[in-house]
Structure 1
């Protein structure tokens, strides 16, 4: 049964890798920058929550906002690539 589940998921995984390979240079750069920035915010929020400076809900909100910003950066990079014909 495990083989069947894996076999069913393999084409989906391959499609995901194919689509990921289609990203243009500006989208990749924006995605990388956004992910790095979100990671920094996540680490800071976690440290603040651990120190009792903010609540867990506030930590989650900060992390969610940073991830939303990272997604927006990636979308802007994708739009720039499309405008440039990449």
Structure 2
């Protein structure tokens, strides 16, 4: 966009300078030829700016895709870790409950024998 504005500013400057001169420019080109050249240059600048914008967009899309894939991998790894931790916690809880039941049964048996 900046290149477009520069090109249009250049074209306007050339047009104003060309209109104010009474003699031919040093190059021997007419004002119309200067405007045509400025328009051609503006067209090239616009094409370059569009190409650069397309490349920047493609790069951003690639980076976003890579970041998304990495985030998905990290989420999967964390989910796997969480599942493993939940499994270990369930084992520990089961062992604790079994131990409490055995202790309670032992206490009941001991009291019954008294």
Q: What is the CA–CA distance in structure 2 between the aligned matches of 1:61 and 1:67, rounded to whole Å? A: 10
Q: What is the CA–CA distance in structure 1 between the aligned matches of 2:20 and 2:44, rounded to whole Å? A: 25
Which residue is equivalent to 2:2?
29
- Of 33, 36, 39 in structure 2, the residue corresponding to residue 61 of structure 1 is 33
Task: Give the Å deviation of 1:84.
Answer: 0.5
1 or 2 for the larger relative contact order (CA 8 Å, sep ≥6)? 1
- Of 43, 65, 74 in structure 2, the residue corresponding to residue 71 of structure 1 is 43
Q: What is the CA–CA distance in structure 2 between the aligned matches of 1:36 and 1:64, rounded to whole Å? A: 14
The number of residue pairs the alignment matches comes to 55
Which residue is equivalent to 2:17?
44
Larger Rg belongs to: 2
Which residue is equivalent to 1:21?
none
Give TM-score, length-normalised by structure 1.
0.57
Where in structure 1 are there 5+ consecutive unaligned residues?
1-27
Question: What CA RMSD, in Å, does the superposition of the two structures yield over aligned residues?
Answer: 1.9
